[in-house]
Amino acid sequence: MNEEFYISLIGEAFDGYTESTIGDKDICFKHITIRDQRYLHKYYEKYKNLALKRGLETEAERIAAVTKDEVWSAEDDLKIESLQNEVENLKSTMNAVFLPSQRESIQKDLNKRRTELADLLIKRKEVIGKTAEDYASVRSGDELLRCLIFKDPELKSFLYSDDDFAELETWEVADIAKTQQDISEKFSDSIIQQAVLRPFFSMYLSSCENLGQFYGKPVVDLTIYQLKVAVYGRMFSNIFQNVPDIPENIKDNPEQLLAFSESQMSSNKNSGGIDDSADASTVFGATEEDMKAIKGGAKTVSMSEELKKHGGQLDMEQMMRLAGHDV
């Protein structure tokens, strides 16, 4: 991706919408805010209650039924619960260790457990079939989609009325959902992190401390992408200010920069600092690469810890809390 892509990405985040087309119509796809997520929850409850009235069972009821019919077993559910606990424990362990070689080994175990868990969850889903929660998720998602599509950059006029949207063919709604998914992937956490580390954004990093002043509006009115641009900017600004001896070749690489910051912080907490003259035998199990990574110390950067805890991806509510706002 070239510099123009990242400049355009930040510009779209600042605007709060992405220009696109639906059929032959130019549209503006509004980026989601905390209020939009609230509406999604409201729609979800509305359609879940509707599904229950129409006779669809909840997921818990379907699991109980297929277990009673011996199509699914309680042991399978225990295996799912066990794998979920293992995944959480491995994620916690990842946050506690500081040697890159150890982290790599734990990551392999974590990936294996996640795959096993995903396979079991898919198998259970195939067994229990459609639930009230499934119906609510699809319908509430469709309802929210309509409220994100506008005719104008001012985001004043919806493209579809309730009746117009209800008359769309299934494939048309699927195309709209695909457009929204493409936008979401374009604004993934990793890509936003890369964008805020580009040279053109460096002058803005120190301004990310105050989100309200940065955007000139209340934090609760910010989109999820506006929050992420500012909060990730603040995170990397803190790293550059507080972590010494960052190698030049990793300063524009979010993953390596975070790993270096975490290793410096962990080594400071766990060993009280490592002497510059120490070799790989000083720390049990450390490789030469580990020792290069862990020398030095740093202040805690809580944002990077939170990012690790949640698998590299943060949702709107998590970002709001990290920005200092209860939701």
Domain that holds residue 166: 20-185
Cβ atoms of residues 212 and 219 within 8 Å: yes
Residues 178, 72, single domain; the answer is yes
Residue 7 inside a domain? The answer is: no
Where would I find the H helices in the chain?
3-15, 34-53, 59-68, 74-96, 100-128, 132-146, 162-166, 170-186, 189-196, 211-215, 224-242, 254-271, 288-294, 302-309, 316-322
Residue 3 inside a domain? The answer is: no
pLDDT value of residue 62 = 93
Residues 30, 178, single domain; the answer is yes
Phi-psi region of 301 (alpha: psi -120 to 50; beta: other; left: phi over 0): beta
Cα–Cα distance, 303 to 239 (Å, whole number): 10
Cα–Cα distance, 95 to 111 (Å, whole number): 15
Cα–Cα distance, 299 to 88 (Å, whole number): 25
Q: At what angle do helices 302-309 and 74-96 cross, to 10 degrees?
A: 160
Residue 301 inside a domain? The answer is: yes
Residues 112, 217, single domain; the answer is no
pLDDT value of residue 35 = 81
Residues 38, 115, single domain; the answer is yes
Residues 90, 149, single domain; the answer is yes
Residues 168, 195, single domain; the answer is no
pLDDT value of residue 96 = 63
Residue 13 inside a domain? The answer is: no
Cβ atoms of residues 306 and 322 within 8 Å: yes
Query: Of 153, 185, 217, which residue is a domain's last?
Result: 185
Residues 214, 70, single domain; the answer is no
Residues 278, 162, single domain; the answer is no
Residue 2 inside a domain? The answer is: no
Q: Mean pLDDT in the chain? A: 82
pLDDT along the chain (327 residues), means of 10: 92 95 90 84 89 94 91 91 91 69 84 93 92 91 88 93 88 89 93 95 88 85 93 91 87 86 68 46 50 47 56 61 55
Residue 38 inside a domain? The answer is: yes
pTM of the complete model = 0.67
Residues 146, 36, single domain; the answer is yes
Residue 60 inside a domain? The answer is: yes
Query: Of 165, 185, 205, which residue is a domain's last?
Result: 185
Residues 158, 70, single domain; the answer is yes
Residue 215 inside a domain? The answer is: yes
What total of structural domains would you count in the chain?
Answer: 2
pLDDT value of residue 189 = 92
Residues 181, 117, single domain; the answer is yes
Residues 293, 174, single domain; the answer is no
Beta bridge partners of 21: 26
Query: Of 166, 185, 204, which residue is a domain's last?
Result: 185
pLDDT value of residue 305 = 59
